[in-house]
Chain A
Amino acid sequence: MSTVDQTSRFGRVFWPVLAWVVALIFFFPIFWMVFTSFKTDADAVKPEFLFTFKPTLDNYLNMTDNYDYWRFAINSVITSTFATLFALVVGIPAAYAMAFNPSRHTKDILVWMLSTKMLPAAAVLYPMTFLTKNFLNIYDTHFLIVLVLCLINLPIVIWMLFTYFKEIPKEIIEAGKMDGVTTWGEIKDILIPLAWGGVASTALLCFIFCWNEAYWTVRLTTTEAATLSKLIEGNRAPEGLFFGRLSAVSTAAVGPIVVLGWFCQKQLVRGLTFGAVK
């Protein structure tokens, strides 16, 4: 809403058109994937059917037979949901304590938590395999994937919650304390209703990160707890004979998350920059 508008008439048309063109280019690969998912495998590699073809839903209808899609999808849903819940259960009390009763170590603890996120996963790949396979016997279980997904996202969850909680006036929480409300009551009846939006977007973002995780979910599973990342990774099929069905399963794997992502693009900034960009 600038009061001084110097944009020329040319600029008023040109820049929006350019913005649209660039946005469509960026979206094109996703569009192409969805588009191809309605072609048969044979049509998908024929140049004459590049844009005109007889659309078919077969790739979606046969997804279960072709890829056993639902087993992986259900694993993804289960592990991401429980990892998110678990991260919130551990993260909310911690963020609450840090936001409303900071000690002189709070800042150091927060920064240290973030530093665990920066540990390259590859560096601890073998110890994790060794521990879970030979020692704890939890390799390829839902429990392990939930635990790992929760742990890698816990720092981000705590950080995001912390920045949201800090915006709540301390007096409101103090007032509750005066009235003799227990800590649990404060969290449940005062904090969460007040910071509901923040908690929800934290959960959403955590869920998205869990869903898209592609290192541990691939490396620490074989069949039982394998998620959609593992399914796609296992079907990189360079022959290209199955573009149609591969597109369909890929669309089914990313579709829900891309739509979820549209709803939390603003929170993404907070979540990924740890409150350093406002």
Chain B
Amino acid sequence: MSKRTVPRLLQTPAVLLLLIWMLIPLGMTLYFSFIRYVLNSLRRPEWTTPSISNWRGFGNYEYVLFDSKDFWFAVQNSLFIVCSILILTVILGLALAVLVNRSFPGRGIVRVLLISPFFVMPAVNAVLWINMILDPVLGLNGLAIEGINEMVRNLRDFPVLGAFFSMWPELEPISFRATQTSAYAVIMMVTWQWTPFAVLIFMTSLQSEDESQKEAAILDGANAWSRFRNLTVPHLARPIAIVVMIQSIFHLSLYAEIEITSRGNGNKNLPYLIGEFTSNNIGAASAAGIFAVILANIVAIFLLRMVGKNLMD
């Protein structure tokens, strides 16, 4: 056996498994995206089994792009949800990381409390938020608004100020079950879950910041803001990029949260739309799936470059 045989053999199972896992389903998706394939059709029963004789060329792609009214909405919504989450988590994450980076009493406990949301399973996260927190009647959202209304109502009976409070309107709790508001609900719950991740990464990175450089800047009379802007931000550029890319990949395939918060109310992202197509029109589902792959790849290429670059040093 040559010197290279053993290491190669050791890697083979992993490589082979991943190769099969990636190529076979993806190959099938690619194939289905070029044929007419539906699960139920009384009119054209021959379309219910995948066969090369049902070749449709780019027909499914055209259908998804131009004829299904939801595709562009789903893409737009996917991007809206992902971008909102990214902006919120990065800003919150930076602020919190700087806040927790100094030492103070109970810092360990604060860290534990802060990181906890990240380990909550997505299904619980969604059920918890949409029912117990955001529900307009029974959730804290509804209870809080009702409490404020109650308070205002009581204040109306007050001698002098009563006249002022009687002009206050009754507040309506926001319902997070409508198409657009449920997207906000999804953004809220995912931001809650992923801000800890950003905090953790920024904190790790802050700890490797060059302290002597900072002290030199202080001696040179730089104030806190300019130290943050000129030293900390450039130092954090890389972790920010990593946080953005990793989250993009995770959130582009967001599913459980959408399924739980907005089932059937029209709010959807690309994975959810594919799920809808999958209930009957497999051809369209596959074409939409290929678009999802392309979208994810655009992000992935940047991430992989970046990770690959500092791999061997």
Contact = CB atoms under 8 A, between A and B. Distances in A.
Given A29-B128, A128-B25, A253 B275 contact: no
A50 to B, nearest CB: 7
Contact of B4 (A103, A109, A214, A269): A103
Contact of A254 (B104, B110, B119): B119
Given A16-B106, A122-B255, A238-B135, 13 more contacts: A24-B113, A107-B312, A114-B304, A120-B295, A124-B29, A154-B18, A214-B256, A228-B121, A233-B260, A237-B127, A262-B115, A265-B112, A275-B310
Contacts, number: 314
Of all A-B residue pairs in the complex, the 5 with the closest CB atoms, nearest first, are A123-B289, A261-B119, A122-B271, A16-B104, A124-B25
A116 interface: yes
A257 interface: yes
A164 B29 CA distance: 36
Interface string A200-219: 00000000100110110010
Interface residues of A, number: 100
Contact of B307 (A114, A232, A254): A114
B26 A123 contact: yes
Contacts of A158: 14
Q: Which range holds the interface residue count of chain B?
A: 35 or more
Contact of B133 (A26, A32, A254): A32
Nearest to B3: A101
Contacts of B137: 240
Contact of A124 (B26, B99, B138): B26
Contact of B296 (A15, A120, A218, A265): A120
Interface in B115-165: 115-124, 126-133, 135, 137-140, 143, 146-147
A116 B22 contact: yes
A32 B278 CA distance: 37
B6 A250 contact: no
Contacts of B104: 15-16, 19
A2 B227 CA distance: 14
B32 interface: yes
Contact of A236 (B6, B107, B131, B215): B131
A22 B130 CA distance: 21
B285 A126 contact: yes
Contacts of A93: 10-11, 13-14
B195 to A, nearest CB: 7
Interface in B184-215: 192, 195-197, 200-201, 204-205, 208, 211, 214-215
A138 B16 CA distance: 20
A246 B131 CA distance: 10
Contacts of A96: 10
Given A97-B11, A211-B121, A237-B131, A273 B242 contact: yes
Interface string B207-237: 0100100110011000010000000000000
Interface string A152-187: 001100100000000000000000000000010000
Interface stretch (B51-59, B65-73, B245-253): B245-253
Given A15-B104, A97-B11, A122-B274, A115 B304 contact: yes
B129 A29 contact: yes
Contacts of B112: 262, 265
Contacts of A232: 121, 123-124, 127
B24 A127 contact: yes
A30 B106 contact: no
Given A94-B11, A215-B255, A250-B124, A126 B29 contact: yes
